[in-house]
């Protein structure tokens, strides 16, 4: 009887791809091999329902990619899940981590260079995951498409993450 209880309590780690993706609703970060091309971030609700959320200059992606990878992998390790890394092509990202990524990406998307990106990353890290999720939800509802860059909530994210001083 005790063996049966122990077997029931033993939990196998779930199978994931990329950065924790294991279900139909997730994000896809498409990184082109050509550094002159743009990185796209899309939200995938299932097999065919995809909403493009952001198009980011490759040099801006390069400025945040390592910090985002580190942050996401720390969180995945806490949940005893395999870690991920960014590769050219499609990178699947778990739904809530994808929301967090969008908050940072939307804040920096209109930067001409990587100046200020370090401040944005530090301020982004200072937000709790729940705060990032809420900011993403509010922003996506009003200005969640690539053509909405620099408007409404997206503009607010710029000020929240880049204009807010970090000590």
Name 31's bridge partners. Answer: 89
Tokens 């939200």, located at residue: 43
1 located within any domain: no
Residue pair 94/19 in contact (Cβ under 8 Å)? The answer is yes
Q: Considering the domain boundaries, does residue 117 fall inside one?
A: yes
The pTM of the full predicted model, rounded to 2 decimals, is: 0.85
Residue 73 has pLDDT above 60, yes or no: yes
- In angstroms, rounded to a whole number, what is the distance separating the alpha carbons of residues 52 and 43? 6
Residue 53 placed within a domain? yes
Confidence at 113, pLDDT banded by 50, 70, 90: confident
Question: What does the pLDDT read at residue 21?
Answer: 57
Q: How many domains are there within the chain?
A: 1
Position 6 scores a pLDDT of 44
Q: Would you say residue 2 lies in a domain?
A: no
Q: What is the pLDDT of residue 15?
A: 56
Does 149 reside within a domain? yes
What percentage of residues in the chain have a pLDDT greater than 90?
Answer: 77
6 in a structural domain: no
């Amino acid at each position: 009887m005790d063996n049966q209880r122990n077997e029931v309590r033993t939990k196998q780690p779930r199978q994931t791809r990329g950065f924790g993706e294991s279900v139909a609703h997730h994000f896809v970060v498409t990184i082109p091999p050509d550094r002159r091309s743009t990185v796209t971030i899309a939200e995938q609700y299932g097999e065919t329902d995809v909403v493009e959320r952001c198009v980011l200059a490759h040099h801006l992606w390069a400025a945040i990619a390592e910090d985002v990878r580190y942050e996401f992998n720390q969180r995945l390790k806490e949940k005893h899940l395999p870690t991920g890394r960014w590769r050219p092509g499609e990178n699947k990202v778990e739904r809530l981590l994808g929301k967090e990524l969008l908050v940072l990406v939307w804040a920096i998307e209109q930067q001409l260079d990587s100046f200020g990106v370090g401040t944005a990353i530090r301020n982004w890290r200072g937000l709790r995951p729940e705060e990032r999720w809420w900011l993403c939800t509010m922003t996506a509802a009003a200005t969640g498409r690539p053509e909405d860059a620099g408007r409404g909530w997206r503009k607010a994210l710029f000020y929240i993450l880049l204009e807010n001083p970090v000590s």
